[in-house]
Structure 1
Amino acid sequence: MTCTDERRRNMARDRGYNGIDAVSVGSDRTELSVVFFGDVPGGLRPANFRIEGGRRITGIEVTSVAPCPSKDPELEHCVRVTVDRAGDLSTYRLCVVDVEGFDPRYRCLDFTFVTGCDDIDCAPQCDCPDESFPPVEIDYLAKDYASFRQLMLDRLSLTMPQWTERHIPDIGITLVELLAYEGDRLSYQQDAVATEAYLETARLRTSVRRHTRLVDYTLHDGCAARAWVCVEVSGDVELKAGTVQFASGTQIFEPLVYQDLSLRAGHNRVDLWTWEDHDCCLPIGTTAATLVDGEPGKDRVLQLRPGDVLILEEIIGPKTGNEADRDITHRQAVRLTSVTPAVDPLREQPVLEVTWARDDALRFPLCVNSRGGRECTDLVVGVGRGNVVLVEHGGGVPDEPLEVPVADPVDPGCPEPVCFGCHDTTAPPRTTRYPPIPKRFQPAISRLPVTNSVPFPSLGVTTRAQADWLRDLPARAREHVRTLYRKMPEEPLEKSDTEYLTVLFGEPTLTKVRLAQHPHRALRTLLRRFDELLIAKLERLEELIGQARSGCVLTADEEGWEVAQSWGVDAAEADPADPRFFGPAAIATDTDPRDALPAVTVIDRFNETWHARRDLLDSGPDDRHFVGETDDDGRVHLRFGDGRNGAQFELLDGTAQDHSVARYRVGNGTAGNVGAEAIDKIIIADTHGATISRVRNPLPGAGGVDPEDVAAARIQAPHEARLRQLRAITAGDYADLAARQPGLQRATANLAWTGSWYEAQIAIDALGAPVAPDWLLDDVRSSMHRYRKIGHDLSVSSAVLVPLDLALCVQVKPEHIAGHVRAALMRTLGAGRDGYFNADRLTFGTPVRVSSIVAAAASVPGVLSVDVTRLERLFGPPGDALDTGVLAIKPLEVAQLDSDPARPENGRLDLTLVGGR
């Protein structure tokens, strides 16, 4: 969070709190002058100061602390801190620890040992962005009623010449017309079968669906829309699962997740805490915020936990203060990934530090507070909304009874004689047809349209979230041990801490390090040898992470119990039904209709539940699955298995009572894509004293799709297999498949001969970062194993960055200040969000052209002329870019020019300014 009005500093000083006001570095870079805005605390020691950060030089320690010798009254609250060595050009952080009376916001301060500023202002700039993405015809003779009738009459004229009667009442004419009618009906059935046997001529939706499934193309039947609903209550409310519905006019919505709803009055509106600063905003890309948790000095009211959804929205116009001037597009749902309680000691204000996933990063700048209105007062502009429920279009209807037919006798034909050829007159009659034709149970749902719902959460989202949770376990354990170490020796280990360390490291290890006798030294040893002591557990954890990445869902009773016994966590944390594993809120309403299934379940007379599936190819003989097929009238027919692919639905035997029912929801398609604030009613089966004051959907419904047109599917299906790539043979195949991974800007690949086999070398260009993180490399590597050719090794790495050495000679207009022009050129040609060398602007093989650099520099106000004097690789031989006008970049390389004094190896920009003021 960036704030332009720091009011907290004065308030902290007035209330007697202390803090770091400034840090200056001496000429020898080993002495720091630390200025406080309060009195210098007594008894400061080197242990009270900690220096963090650094890239090349880390672990800097304070050796001595003394008062500043200067008699300047402005430096009377100053101490001189001596460090053991000077740092590099990166940013460090100086913190005061174990000293009472310091405000937590000013306990630490960032500084650099070398500023690196020339003639421009080094003050930080606000990063808040401005608001502104022909079939052959076959002639069949004698195939209709008239032709059959004439054919039979002609035949009878030859075989019975004496019969010449042609009047309709004649018995012979009656028989001829009856046979002609039956022949016409059978001929139509034959034509229909032949027509439905081919995709090009099929007319029935069910036939086209089955044909397209043969080429792995899914003819979808639409998809229900989803929306986020906020419920405001006047008191805490507990609603049972399955008892709540929401309505927008005649359209009914139901909660997508079948679970109890806990609604809290304190979640109706959640304010964002700005630490008493003003004119604050959450910029684009924000993934963390601080929430107000009740009134100062009172009990907390927020009961948020990881997995809950919060909607951030702008409630009034930041300038006028009117509700009508708010930007209704500044609304977004985020799913919390961490919730940490804290307290602001300056106001004794309870707060919550919350974070959310990078996929839910803010897509707009959210103004938190401002000063405006008619009376120019402080305004609260942006707030959060809790009590959020994800709902889906479609309302439940009463269970529909299914008419299960009576099964035919097992043995066809006449009954066997009892003895000596005598028939049993008491036995029921048997069917005499051969071969036997079994009865198939294919009921149809009477109401329509039946809801088609995408499974939530999807299997891939759950497994990826579980893999991330497993990946964070070692870091969480290490941080827990580090916290115990920092508390020593002031706070001794408690029994729960010892039990946790015993589960983590084992009793023999704790005995060897003598935890009971020397806990502080033992914890330090455990931290230093953390990976060595837990090598077996870390290897097993990698196996579980690999299983999760491959699509295996981890359960709380199996893998969760194992992790709990090894890492000291709660086994319930691995439950896939936990909202923490539901994925980001951004993907909850982003549905694919081809993944949707009918929201129908069948409960047979044995009280067994049958579930819908896409097909029965992967269903076993005992799997209670069925397929829901929609006909041309929109009615859903249920097709059960045959006992080999899917269990066979047991028919009645003539004596059992039928109690089979279908349970489903009605509502589908684009009718559910309602606008924002359209869902305004709630239907509760049992109120239980509920006090619902308001229901609204801040965001519009999304994801509703009507059923796919049969004609369009008939055209597109034959080409689907050719357009979808499921294997990697060439280098281009590897690059295309790797680029599908979320978080990538682009990927490229190369097949390298190792002497015995080929190795597919994949280089990825991460989105929003010059170097791909390790977790992204692991995700790409695990996803590519299913596509790679047998015999190919796989190697995934980040892009090869090519730092550049660029020098410009710029003529500045006389009326402009040269320092300001230099700063503008540094931003325009830098690696920032709008810079020419931004990490997302350049990708593999993108050449660097002199003309484009000149054009970018000339667009800066105050530039009269630009001349490129040097353009080459920073660590390469001299090139001819100035002669040819292009600096070539290889296919696996990406140009880089950060122009960062702390990391000069990432590119250098040399500006020579002439003229100006």
Structure 2
Amino acid sequence: MAGFDRRAALCEQPAPPRVTGIDFVQVVDPHDQHVLQVFFLIDPDTLVAPMVATAAMPTDAAPGLVSIVSTSGGESIVSPHIVRQTWESQATPAGPRTVLEIEVAEPGDFSIYRLTINDARVDRWFNDVAFSFKQGCPSDLDCEPTSECPEEDMPEPRIDYLARDFTSFNNALLDFAAENWPQWRERIPADAGVMLMEVFSALGDEFSYIQDRYAREAYLATATEGRSRRGLARLVDYRPDPGRSASTLLAVTVAAGGAFATAGLRVWALRESTPPIVFELGTSVADRLAGRHYWVHADWNAIALHPLDDTEAGRCLAIGATEAYLRGHVPILAQLPAADPDVDPANPSRYWIGKWVALRSTPKDPSLPSRRWLVRITAVEQTNDPLFLVDANGNPDPAGNPLDITRIGWDAAQALPFELCQDETELLGNIVPAIAGASVSEIFRIGPPGANEPVVASDLPRALEREGVYDTDNGGRRLVLRWGLRASEAAGLGWLDPLTPDLVLREIGPGGGGFVPVAGADHWTYLPSLIDAQPDDPAFTLEEGVWREIIRFERTGVTISHEDYATGAGFTLRFGDGAFGRSPPDGTFFEVIYRTGPAPGASLADANLAADSVTVLAEPGSQPPNQPLALATAVSNPLPIENGVAPEAPETTRILAPEAWRARPLRAVRDEDYRAIAEEQLDWVQRGGARARWTGSWLTEFVTADPEGAFALSEPRRGELSNLVDAIRQAGREAFVVDPDFISIDLDISVCVQPGHYPGDVEARIIEALTGKRRPHHPLAFFDPDHFTFGDPLRRSALEAAVQSTPGVHGVEDIRIRARRITDWREFDQPDFRVGATQIIRLQNDPVFPERGSLVVHARAGA
């Protein structure tokens, strides 16, 4: 029955036909829509069994012959009620046709209706038809329904979910091709289809790698890149330690005369496990840029000590010693640099104040260890020893002149921890600072070359440009500028402390055939995070990993360079984007000077060396020998180098970061939280105080602090505490910084004086012992602000002990006390004077601030 046309077969039935079918339904009046006419393919009155007699028309049709129902349920009328159905003869251009005219009580809505004639003489396939009562209404739509044929189902390819690399992807594509195009058998590499499969396999391999890397770098436990670990750790306010460069003090030996050792000159230490470790004079690259120099002199190479006595006590510098005597006068004007503003011709010895020197002992007994100790000179006195009538070499002086000697002193914090025999000890005076790592300078530009720039400027490499966040104000993306620190990729980066890299960034410009610093340019500052920068701040930060050129090639005479993230080793300098930190404009030139690690492939901690390890003056492997520190004949580090710190290991970050926020909380809910955070975060807070009070509608937190070494909060400290409180308080919770509630007390003390002591002197001593100012090497006064904090009571026994221990006091006779604006004078006969938990006892005894407490002492001469 292929190609059977049922409509044509119905119309071509032999006469007389047996069945008919509905041709179409017409709405007679589009405005009225109550009358329908049904046209048939074959007139119903010509059938073998006519549905109506021709002569009888018009005549009513049999009841129930027609039904009309909405196919979609109808919005208002589901099945219109038929009030009349009549057979009629209708004139048409082709001649009269028999139609069934139907009248309904009310027209249908805009839904599609289906009219069905229930009669066996109407073919089942053509006994119903869809129509619309609104078919005559004007419409812009095509009335012909679209024919939507279902799409042919494509064969589902077999997916190998284990395919993750080039080979497995290529095999999967070959299997797919063999299954769907079996006629394709020539799988030669030059075939275009094979080439495309290999391209798809390579892309799949790369995408799989990217997915795996993204998945690994998204979690602290599996991240392998330093920038990923640092970013994840910052989410919990933890900063991994980048390490610190090792620094030391070197003893330089000079052949003759004096000279300046300039910051930046290099010396080396040799190690078996690593390349030579380089050290540069100075404390940072900023010293090198500033041209800082250190004066050294041959007379200061090794200066003998002068023992004052030949006894055991006189020959040795005892434990805790803070002074020593040197043979000869040092420094003298002839040993100092000419025209140096730091030299005082009237008092040349002041040149040594603040200078570092080393005491080095070389025992004659080989079983005893050599001792070294570094001190910083605080006092220099040039004098003579009238009992030693010898010259500086120990020979009798012909003129009988006494031996010139120099007394030097140093701070008690550097007191000798061991004894030194002065006959076997010498002072090394040419001590200069040094830091591990080599300083490197790199120059780059922002943006493309200008039209009139000199060649030396147009040839500079450009900072790498990437699109940043979307700027809603300008309707475009902000520009992110980066410059990878090239030398740090192999040798790392030096750090002065966890928040300060040994790096200087400055603006430069063409000049003198090269580049010179731009006068008056802004000082570019390093910030750990640019989130803390304002839009116009000249700030930059450092990212772990190096962004640099990945590949370079030429095409049609044009050099194409692709720059991207190259490796996780080293660091990259990143500028602000204009919202967080300034974005430098095109045409700006920069020079970045930074310090690398101690050697290629070495950690910052590898510069921790034993004493006398830094001894090489000439650059290892240089031919001819290159000796930057040409004035020296020898160099060494008297003490071991121990302050180099390696960058924090990844495993340490994984352990500490999740716990850091618990150990150092940065949110305050309870009063105890405010107190604890203030005491931990602010060095000057001796003790913190906080109390929440109901202010009528909500709780308000009042925070205060007991400042160390002071009776009141200064404005800078108040602002610092206020900023901290705003950072840790809950959203919507008010918090204010208030002054501590000091309870100022007045004391009236009567004492009896021991025989032989003047009462006025004893009174002054008691006042000094109780309320005296802070002085070096003296104990704190009894009412020093650091002795009392929130809630501490004044104990009578402790007060009496402090008074009784004053020289000249025989006994305490009476103590009277008053709390200003709280109590009147009364006898202090209780064990203690108590204050509230948020109050602090204060007795300053300052005539300028009498409201801060006063002290009166009456001393009576004893019998």
TM-score range, shorter chain: 0.3 to 0.5
Structure with greater proportional helix content: 1
Structure with greater proportional strand content: 2
Greater Rg over alpha carbons, structure: 2
